[in-house]
């Protein structure tokens, strides 16, 4: 009986580290900050006369905020979501991903990943090296201009994104 209890106790102790290894913790983008980032992105684009849509995703790729300016085209909503998804998935600005696909034949297949859009306008939201979400913008007269609006919003919220 003594050996049975000792064996059970030992097995129980060995099980706990495995349980702890199965738990993942990390930083997350709050709804409040996501809304602030979306609004700042719209303000940055509006100041330049661009009519855009903005999507902010959480770390799992779930939309937290989707905003469409009054005169933005209907296609800009889906484009902003796809750009955000591409930036989140690759952990890189979509302009960089687009250039990699154009310049490197080995990366050309990125175009065929469902949900990806290889145009400028998507930017990951990071805290340190952790990607906690992404902003996608569609509707400015060029992806680089969409991306600049998102980058401006991130700069405006730099203090909130410090770990």
**Domains identified in the chain, total number:** 1
From 7, 137, 130, select the one nearest 78 (Cα to Cα): 137
Tell me if 59 is assigned to some domain. yes
Question: 10 lies in a domain?
Answer: no
Alpha carbon 89 to its chain's center:
7
Q: Identify the domain containing residue 34 by its residue range.
A: 27-161
Q: Any idea what the CATH number is for the domain that residue 122 is in?
A: 3.30.450.150
pLDDT tens, residue by residue, 103-158: 999 888 998 999 999 999 999 999 999 999 999 999 999 999 999 999 999 999 99
Q: Is 141 a domain residue?
A: yes
Residue 119 lies in a domain: yes
- Summarize pLDDT for 16-46 with one digit per residue, the tens: 444 467 888 889 999 999 999 999 999 999 9
In a domain, 70, yes or no: yes
């Amino acid at each position: 009986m003594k050996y049975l209890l000792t064996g059970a106790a030992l097995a129980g102790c060995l099980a706990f580290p495995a349980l702890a290894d199965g738990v993942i913790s990390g930083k997350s983008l709050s709804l409040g900050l996501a809304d602030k980032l979306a609004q700042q992105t719209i303000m940055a684009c509006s100041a330049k006369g661009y009519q855009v849509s903005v999507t902010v995703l959480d770390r799992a790729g779930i939309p937290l905020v989707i905003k469409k300016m009054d005169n933005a085209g209907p296609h800009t909503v889906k484009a902003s979501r796809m750009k955000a998804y591409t930036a989140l998935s690759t952990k890189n600005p979509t302009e960089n991903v687009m250039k990699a696909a154009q310049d490197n034949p080995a990366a050309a297949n990125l175009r065929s990943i469902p949900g990806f859009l290889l145009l400028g306008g998507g930017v990951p939201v990071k805290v340190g090296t952790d990607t906690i979400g992404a902003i996608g913008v569609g509707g400015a007269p060029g992806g680089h201009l969409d991306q600049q609006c998102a980058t401006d919003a991130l700069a405006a919220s730099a203090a909130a994104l410090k770990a």
